[in-house]
Amino acid sequence: MSFALQFNHVIKKELVMTQKSKVAVIGLGNIGTVVATNLAKGNRSVIVADRTLEKANKLSEKLGSLVKAVTITDAIKEADIIVLAVWFDTIKELFKSYAKELQGKIIVDPSNPIAPDEKGGFKKIIDKDQSSGQILSSLLPNGAKLAKALGTLGAASLEKAAFQQHEKAVEFYATDDTSIDDQIECLIRDNGFEPVRIGGINQSIRIEVFGDLHEFGALGKTVTLAEAKEVGEPALH
Ligand SMILES: NC(=O)c1ccc[n+]([C@@H]2O[C@H](COP(=O)([O-])OP(=O)(O)OC[C@H]3O[C@@H](n4cnc5c(N)ncnc54)[C@H](OP(=O)(O)O)[C@@H]3O)[C@@H](O)[C@H]2O)c1
Protein backbone atom coordinates (compact mmCIF):
# COMPACT_ATOMS: atom_id res chain seq x y z
CA MET A 1 0.00 0.00 0.00
CA SER A 2 1.38 3.44 -0.93
CA PHE A 3 2.12 6.00 1.77
CA ALA A 4 -0.79 8.20 0.55
CA LEU A 5 -3.21 5.27 0.75
CA GLN A 6 -1.94 4.25 4.18
CA PHE A 7 -2.31 7.86 5.38
CA ASN A 8 -5.88 7.99 4.04
CA HIS A 9 -6.65 4.71 5.76
CA VAL A 10 -5.37 6.02 9.12
CA ILE A 11 -7.28 9.29 8.76
CA LYS A 12 -10.50 7.44 7.90
CA LYS A 13 -10.02 5.13 10.91
CA GLU A 14 -9.43 8.14 13.17
CA LEU A 15 -12.56 9.78 11.79
CA VAL A 16 -14.65 6.68 12.50
CA MET A 17 -13.16 6.51 16.02
CA THR A 18 -14.00 10.14 16.77
CA GLN A 19 -17.50 9.79 15.32
CA LYS A 20 -18.44 6.90 17.57
CA SER A 21 -21.18 7.57 20.08
CA LYS A 22 -20.09 8.10 23.66
CA VAL A 23 -21.05 5.13 25.76
CA ALA A 24 -21.55 4.84 29.51
CA VAL A 25 -21.98 1.70 31.58
CA ILE A 26 -23.96 2.19 34.78
CA GLY A 27 -23.77 -0.66 37.30
CA LEU A 28 -20.40 -2.35 37.64
CA GLY A 29 -21.28 -5.83 38.81
CA ASN A 30 -20.85 -9.01 36.73
CA ILE A 31 -22.22 -7.72 33.43
CA GLY A 32 -21.20 -4.05 33.67
CA THR A 33 -17.60 -4.95 34.49
CA VAL A 34 -17.33 -7.36 31.55
CA VAL A 35 -18.95 -4.89 29.13
CA ALA A 36 -16.55 -2.11 30.20
CA THR A 37 -13.58 -4.50 30.04
CA ASN A 38 -14.55 -5.74 26.55
CA LEU A 39 -15.00 -2.18 25.28
CA ALA A 40 -11.56 -1.20 26.54
CA LYS A 41 -10.12 -4.31 24.85
CA GLY A 42 -11.97 -3.26 21.70
CA ASN A 43 -10.21 0.10 21.93
CA ARG A 44 -13.47 1.96 22.67
CA SER A 45 -13.61 4.71 25.28
CA VAL A 46 -16.17 4.09 27.98
CA ILE A 47 -17.56 6.06 30.89
CA VAL A 48 -18.31 4.00 34.00
CA ALA A 49 -20.50 4.73 37.03
CA ASP A 50 -21.99 2.86 39.95
CA ARG A 51 -23.72 3.76 43.17
CA THR A 52 -20.39 5.11 44.46
CA LEU A 53 -17.65 6.93 42.57
CA GLU A 54 -15.12 4.88 44.54
CA LYS A 55 -16.24 1.66 42.85
CA ALA A 56 -16.11 3.26 39.40
CA ASN A 57 -12.65 4.72 40.11
CA LYS A 58 -11.36 1.28 41.06
CA LEU A 59 -12.44 -0.19 37.71
CA SER A 60 -11.09 2.77 35.77
CA GLU A 61 -7.69 2.44 37.48
CA LYS A 62 -7.64 -1.26 36.63
CA LEU A 63 -8.67 -0.91 32.97
CA GLY A 64 -6.65 2.17 32.01
CA SER A 65 -7.04 5.48 30.25
CA LEU A 66 -9.94 4.52 27.93
CA VAL A 67 -12.15 4.04 30.97
CA LYS A 68 -13.36 7.17 32.78
CA ALA A 69 -15.14 7.06 36.15
CA VAL A 70 -17.80 9.66 36.91
CA THR A 71 -21.02 9.96 38.91
CA ILE A 72 -24.26 8.50 37.51
CA THR A 73 -25.61 11.98 36.69
CA ASP A 74 -22.46 12.93 34.78
CA ALA A 75 -22.35 9.57 33.00
CA ILE A 76 -25.87 10.07 31.65
CA LYS A 77 -25.18 13.69 30.73
CA GLU A 78 -21.93 12.91 28.89
CA ALA A 79 -22.90 9.75 27.02
CA ASP A 80 -25.16 9.13 24.03
CA ILE A 81 -25.61 5.43 24.80
CA ILE A 82 -26.31 4.36 28.38
CA VAL A 83 -25.94 0.67 29.22
CA LEU A 84 -28.00 0.06 32.35
CA ALA A 85 -26.19 -3.00 33.72
CA VAL A 86 -28.39 -3.24 36.81
CA TRP A 87 -31.35 -5.41 37.84
CA PHE A 88 -34.74 -4.98 36.15
CA ASP A 89 -36.36 -3.25 39.16
CA THR A 90 -33.35 -0.93 39.49
CA ILE A 91 -33.73 0.10 35.85
CA LYS A 92 -37.31 1.12 36.61
CA GLU A 93 -36.05 3.17 39.58
CA LEU A 94 -33.33 4.81 37.45
CA PHE A 95 -35.92 5.72 34.79
CA LYS A 96 -37.78 7.64 37.50
CA SER A 97 -34.80 9.20 39.30
CA TYR A 98 -33.02 10.28 36.09
CA ALA A 99 -36.07 10.87 33.84
CA LYS A 100 -34.85 14.31 32.81
CA GLU A 101 -31.22 13.35 32.18
CA LEU A 102 -32.24 10.24 30.18
CA GLN A 103 -34.42 12.21 27.76
CA GLY A 104 -33.35 11.58 24.16
CA LYS A 105 -30.65 9.05 25.12
CA ILE A 106 -30.14 5.56 23.73
CA ILE A 107 -30.72 3.11 26.55
CA VAL A 108 -29.31 -0.40 26.37
CA ASP A 109 -31.13 -2.91 28.57
CA PRO A 110 -29.37 -6.23 29.28
CA SER A 111 -31.76 -7.17 32.10
CA ASN A 112 -33.45 -10.47 32.77
CA PRO A 113 -36.60 -10.33 34.92
CA ILE A 114 -35.55 -13.12 37.27
CA ALA A 115 -34.87 -13.76 40.95
CA PRO A 116 -33.59 -16.80 42.89
CA ASP A 117 -36.22 -19.52 43.45
CA GLU A 118 -36.52 -21.88 46.41
CA LYS A 119 -34.65 -24.69 44.61
CA GLY A 120 -31.34 -22.91 44.03
CA GLY A 121 -32.33 -21.85 40.50
CA PHE A 122 -34.04 -18.79 39.06
CA LYS A 123 -37.67 -17.91 38.44
CA LYS A 124 -39.27 -15.25 36.30
CA ILE A 125 -40.63 -12.32 38.32
CA ILE A 126 -43.05 -11.11 35.63
CA ASP A 127 -45.77 -12.97 33.70
CA LYS A 128 -44.59 -15.92 31.63
CA ASP A 129 -45.40 -14.23 28.33
CA GLN A 130 -44.01 -10.81 29.27
CA SER A 131 -40.47 -9.49 28.73
CA SER A 132 -38.53 -6.91 30.67
CA GLY A 133 -37.81 -5.21 27.33
CA GLN A 134 -41.50 -4.67 26.62
CA ILE A 135 -42.26 -3.48 30.15
CA LEU A 136 -39.33 -1.06 30.11
CA SER A 137 -40.26 0.27 26.67
CA SER A 138 -43.60 1.36 28.13
CA LEU A 139 -41.82 3.28 30.92
CA LEU A 140 -39.13 4.99 28.82
CA PRO A 141 -38.22 8.60 29.65
CA ASN A 142 -39.29 11.14 26.99
CA GLY A 143 -37.58 10.74 23.64
CA ALA A 144 -35.32 7.94 24.88
CA LYS A 145 -34.70 5.00 22.55
CA LEU A 146 -34.43 1.47 23.81
CA ALA A 147 -32.35 -1.47 22.67
CA LYS A 148 -32.47 -4.86 24.32
CA ALA A 149 -28.84 -5.97 24.06
CA LEU A 150 -25.78 -7.37 25.83
CA GLY A 151 -27.86 -9.64 28.07
CA THR A 152 -28.27 -12.69 25.88
CA LEU A 153 -25.19 -14.44 27.30
CA GLY A 154 -24.14 -15.07 30.88
CA ALA A 155 -21.33 -12.86 32.20
CA ALA A 156 -18.81 -15.72 31.97
CA SER A 157 -19.49 -16.26 28.25
CA LEU A 158 -19.62 -12.53 27.60
CA GLU A 159 -16.06 -12.45 28.87
CA LYS A 160 -14.75 -15.73 27.45
CA ALA A 161 -16.35 -15.64 23.98
CA ALA A 162 -15.47 -12.00 23.24
CA PHE A 163 -13.14 -11.38 20.28
CA GLN A 164 -13.18 -15.03 19.19
CA GLN A 165 -10.40 -15.57 16.67
CA HIS A 166 -11.86 -17.32 13.61
CA GLU A 167 -15.55 -16.56 13.71
CA LYS A 168 -17.03 -14.16 16.24
CA ALA A 169 -19.77 -15.30 18.60
CA VAL A 170 -23.19 -13.70 18.11
CA GLU A 171 -24.92 -11.21 20.40
CA PHE A 172 -28.60 -10.85 19.48
CA TYR A 173 -30.37 -7.52 19.95
CA ALA A 174 -33.85 -6.06 19.51
CA THR A 175 -35.08 -2.52 19.09
CA ASP A 176 -38.13 -0.73 17.69
CA ASP A 177 -35.96 2.10 16.46
CA THR A 178 -34.01 1.14 13.34
CA SER A 179 -32.29 4.55 13.39
CA ILE A 180 -30.09 3.29 16.25
CA ASP A 181 -29.18 -0.06 14.64
CA ASP A 182 -25.73 1.17 13.53
CA GLN A 183 -24.85 2.50 16.98
CA ILE A 184 -25.97 -0.70 18.72
CA GLU A 185 -24.16 -2.90 16.21
CA CYS A 186 -20.97 -0.87 16.63
CA LEU A 187 -21.31 -1.22 20.42
CA ILE A 188 -21.70 -5.00 20.11
CA ARG A 189 -18.76 -5.27 17.68
CA ASP A 190 -16.57 -3.22 20.01
CA ASN A 191 -17.54 -5.73 22.71
CA GLY A 192 -16.02 -8.46 20.54
CA PHE A 193 -19.24 -10.01 19.13
CA GLU A 194 -21.17 -10.24 15.88
CA PRO A 195 -24.45 -8.31 16.19
CA VAL A 196 -27.69 -9.90 14.96
CA ARG A 197 -30.94 -7.92 15.04
CA ILE A 198 -33.88 -10.19 15.72
CA GLY A 199 -36.62 -7.57 15.36
CA GLY A 200 -38.47 -5.09 17.51
CA ILE A 201 -38.81 -4.94 21.30
CA ASN A 202 -41.75 -7.36 21.06
CA GLN A 203 -39.08 -9.99 20.32
CA SER A 204 -37.17 -9.27 23.58
CA ILE A 205 -38.58 -12.33 25.28
CA ARG A 206 -36.56 -14.51 22.89
CA ILE A 207 -33.24 -13.07 24.09
CA GLU A 208 -34.02 -12.90 27.79
CA VAL A 209 -33.35 -15.85 30.18
CA PHE A 210 -35.58 -18.87 29.24
CA GLY A 211 -35.98 -17.46 25.70
CA ASP A 212 -35.23 -19.56 22.64
CA LEU A 213 -32.19 -17.44 21.71
CA HIS A 214 -30.70 -17.10 25.20
CA GLU A 215 -27.69 -18.98 26.54
CA PHE A 216 -29.85 -19.95 29.54
CA GLY A 217 -32.84 -20.87 27.39
CA ALA A 218 -33.46 -23.18 24.45
CA LEU A 219 -30.28 -22.09 22.64
CA GLY A 220 -28.17 -23.13 25.63
CA LYS A 221 -24.79 -22.01 24.30
CA THR A 222 -22.90 -19.29 22.49
CA VAL A 223 -23.19 -19.49 18.70
CA THR A 224 -21.39 -18.10 15.68
CA LEU A 225 -23.41 -16.66 12.81
CA ALA A 226 -23.17 -19.95 10.90
CA GLU A 227 -24.31 -21.92 13.96
CA ALA A 228 -27.17 -19.49 14.58
CA LYS A 229 -28.33 -20.10 11.00
CA GLU A 230 -28.18 -23.85 11.61
CA VAL A 231 -30.59 -23.56 14.55
CA GLY A 232 -33.00 -21.98 12.07
CA GLU A 233 -33.13 -18.39 13.28
CA PRO A 234 -35.38 -16.79 10.62
CA ALA A 235 -33.90 -13.28 11.12
CA LEU A 236 -30.63 -14.64 9.71
CA HIS A 237 -31.93 -16.01 6.41
N1 LIG B 1 -24.86 -12.01 35.57
C2 LIG B 1 -25.19 -12.49 34.37
O3 LIG B 1 -24.67 -13.54 33.92
C4 LIG B 1 -26.18 -11.75 33.52
C5 LIG B 1 -26.35 -12.15 32.17
C6 LIG B 1 -27.22 -11.43 31.36
C7 LIG B 1 -27.91 -10.34 31.85
N8 LIG B 1 -27.74 -9.99 33.15
C9 LIG B 1 -28.52 -8.84 33.64
O10 LIG B 1 -27.62 -7.76 33.85
C11 LIG B 1 -28.06 -6.97 34.96
C12 LIG B 1 -26.93 -6.89 35.98
O13 LIG B 1 -26.63 -8.22 36.42
P14 LIG B 1 -25.29 -8.50 37.23
O15 LIG B 1 -25.17 -9.97 37.36
O16 LIG B 1 -24.19 -7.70 36.64
O17 LIG B 1 -25.71 -7.90 38.66
P18 LIG B 1 -24.75 -7.48 39.86
O19 LIG B 1 -23.47 -8.24 39.76
O20 LIG B 1 -25.57 -7.59 41.09
O21 LIG B 1 -24.42 -5.96 39.55
C22 LIG B 1 -25.35 -4.93 39.65
C23 LIG B 1 -24.58 -3.66 39.87
O24 LIG B 1 -25.51 -2.60 39.90
C25 LIG B 1 -25.16 -1.74 40.97
N26 LIG B 1 -26.31 -0.98 41.39
C27 LIG B 1 -27.36 -1.38 42.16
N28 LIG B 1 -28.23 -0.38 42.32
C29 LIG B 1 -27.72 0.67 41.63
C30 LIG B 1 -28.15 2.01 41.41
N31 LIG B 1 -29.30 2.47 41.93
N32 LIG B 1 -27.38 2.81 40.64
C33 LIG B 1 -26.23 2.36 40.09
N34 LIG B 1 -25.76 1.12 40.27
C35 LIG B 1 -26.51 0.30 41.02
C36 LIG B 1 -24.67 -2.69 42.03
O37 LIG B 1 -23.96 -1.97 43.01
P38 LIG B 1 -23.87 -2.56 44.52
O39 LIG B 1 -22.91 -3.70 44.44
O40 LIG B 1 -23.39 -1.40 45.27
O41 LIG B 1 -25.25 -3.01 44.88
C42 LIG B 1 -23.82 -3.62 41.20
O43 LIG B 1 -22.54 -3.08 40.97
C44 LIG B 1 -29.31 -7.67 35.50
O45 LIG B 1 -30.45 -7.03 34.99
C46 LIG B 1 -29.21 -9.09 34.97
O47 LIG B 1 -30.46 -9.69 34.77
C48 LIG B 1 -26.90 -10.65 33.99
CA of 28 to the centre of ligand 1 (A): 7
Q: What's the mean pLDDT when you consider all of the chain?
A: 92
pLDDT (tens digit per residue) in 142-164 = 999 999 999 999 999 999 999 99
Share of the chain above pLDDT 90, in %: 87
Render the chain in DSSP notation, one character per residue: --HHHHHHHHHHHHHHHHHSPPEEEE--SHHHHHHHHHHHHTT--EEEE-SSHHHHHHHHHHH-TTEEE--HHHHHHH-SEEEE-S-HHHHHHHHHHTTTTTTT-EEEE----EEE-TTSSEEESS-TT--HHHHHHTSPPTT-EEEE-S-SS-HHHHHHTTT-SSSPBEEEEEES-GGGHHHHHHHHHHTTSEEEEEESGGGGGGGSTTSTTSTTSSS-S--BHHHHHHTT-GGG-
Residue 7 has pLDDT above 60, yes or no: no
CA of 15 to the centre of ligand 1 (A): 34
Instruction: For a ligand 1 pocket test, name from 30, 35, 191, 205 the mutation site with the most ligand atoms within 8 angstroms of its C-beta.
Output: 30
pLDDT (tens digit per residue) in 37-84 = 999 999 999 999 999 999 999 999 999 999 999 999 999 999 999 999
Q: Is the CB of 85 under 6 A from ligand 1?
A: yes
CA of 26 to the centre of ligand 1 (A): 9
